[in-house]
Structure 1
Amino acid sequence: MTHMSDPVSTAVRAMTAIGSGTRADVEAVTHPDNVNREAINEPPACRGRGPDATWATAIWLRAAFSNLRHTPHDVVADGDLVVIHATMSGKQTGPFVTYDEKARIAQVFAPTGRDFAVTQTHWFRLRDGLCIEHWANRDDLGMGQQLGWVPPTPLYLLRCARAKRTALRAERT
């Protein structure tokens, strides 16, 4: 089925739906074969294709960051490719869990309660009027510094170790 819509608005809706949209919002802009090239450090459910995997990414991010939002600044489109320069912001109110290439818990960043705002560039490829591919360039170091992950204090390292043990226990049940 071909969807007639503006590629720019579709890509912007896809990016903003991750932070504040509903599952229906995600489904409305996500191709059944969509792949997120950034999902390598995300939970296993995020590594699939289509709206289910995209929604899993939204849930994963929202579990760690409340008030998560993406504010677009500049958008450029060329054919089936749309690039968005944006700021991602929020507050870390939950543990941020990353995964290794075998989908095992790699690291858990304990909640700090701090706000952050970092620039990112998101790239979307569209097919049939829907997002079929996504990748991004992010300022992860800047985010880590704003959240107090970098440089870590000894107390924060202890909190992260505790948070990782808790996440591993929860994963087993």
Structure 2
Amino acid sequence: MTTSTDADVAVASLHAMGSGTKADFRPLYTEDAVNREALAEPPEARGTGPAALFAYALWLRAAFSDLAWEIHEVVHDGELVVIHSTMSGRQTGLFVSYGPDAKVAAAFPPRGRSFAVTQTHWLRMRDGRVAEHWANRDDLGMGQQLGWTPPTPLYLGRMLLATRRERSKAAA
């Protein structure tokens, strides 16, 4: 993967989330890169560096097929790159969210629905690679499009059963 500017690397890092391989992540992230959004992610995605960011991508891909980011605007100022984008996909797998204690908080069974939500990603760059990431996302809008909120009584029951199963698996 060849990139020429910090903005190019930042955009490539978003696209890698949808389809990149573990090898694709190495040149994009510093060894100590941190994702400030990791508090709701699985334990393996809470570390630092390319491996943790790749674990984050795998977590998203397990729940969402056709995962993609449409880039609308990119602003680059000094070491900071800001990307305004739309994330889209279709939920075809179980989405598991985690609490600050890294334990399963909730599980959302797939309904096969598609979503598209705007996001703003903030990336701090160092030596031509991403060193820090945080984002502003429309999680409520995504949940509404996927039918998570407000849940129907039947879907709420499916969520409770899926959450219980995921907690049991994590405890084993």
Query: TM-score over 0.5 for the alignment?
Result: yes
Q: CA deviation at 1:169?
A: 2.4
Q: CA deviation at 1:28?
A: 1.6
Query: Structure 1 CA distance, aligned partners of 2:87 and 2:50?
Result: 21
Instruction: Report the 3-state secondary structure (helix = DSSP H, G, I; strand = E; otherwise coil) of the residue aligned with 1:28.
Output: coil
**Paired position in structure 2 for 1:60:** 59
AA partner of residue 57 (structure 1): Y
AA partner of residue 17 (structure 2): I
**Paired position in structure 2 for 1:119:** 118
Instruction: Report the 3-state secondary structure (helix = DSSP H, G, I; strand = E; otherwise coil) of the residue aligned with 2:27.
Output: helix
Q: Show the 5 A alignment for 1:17-166.
A: 17-166=16-165
AA partner of residue 99 (structure 1): Y
Q: CA deviation at 1:90?
A: 0.4
Instruction: Report the 3-state secondary structure (helix = DSSP H, G, I; strand = E; otherwise coil) of the residue aligned with 2:4.
Output: coil
Query: Structure 1 CA distance, aligned partners of 2:25 and 2:89?
Result: 19
Q: CA deviation at 1:127?
A: 0.4
Query: Structure 1 CA distance, aligned partners of 2:101 and 2:171?
Result: 16
Deviation above 4 Å: which 4+ runs of structure 1?
none
**Paired position in structure 1 for 2:167:** 168
AA partner of residue 168 (structure 2): R
Query: Structure 2 CA distance, aligned partners of 1:9 and 1:131?
Result: 11
Query: Structure 1 CA distance, aligned partners of 2:8 and 2:154?
Result: 44
Which deviations, in whole Å up to 9, do the C-alpha atoms of 1:51-108 show, x marking residues without a partner? 1100010010001101111111100000110000001000001111111111000011
Unaligned runs of 5+ in 1: none
Percent identical: 58
Deviates more, 1:16-25 or 1:126-135: 16-25
Instruction: Report the 3-state secondary structure (helix = DSSP H, G, I; strand = E; otherwise coil) of the residue aligned with 1:40.
Output: helix
AA partner of residue 94 (structure 2): P
Query: Structure 2 CA distance, aligned partners of 1:133 and 1:7?
Result: 13
AA partner of residue 96 (structure 1): F
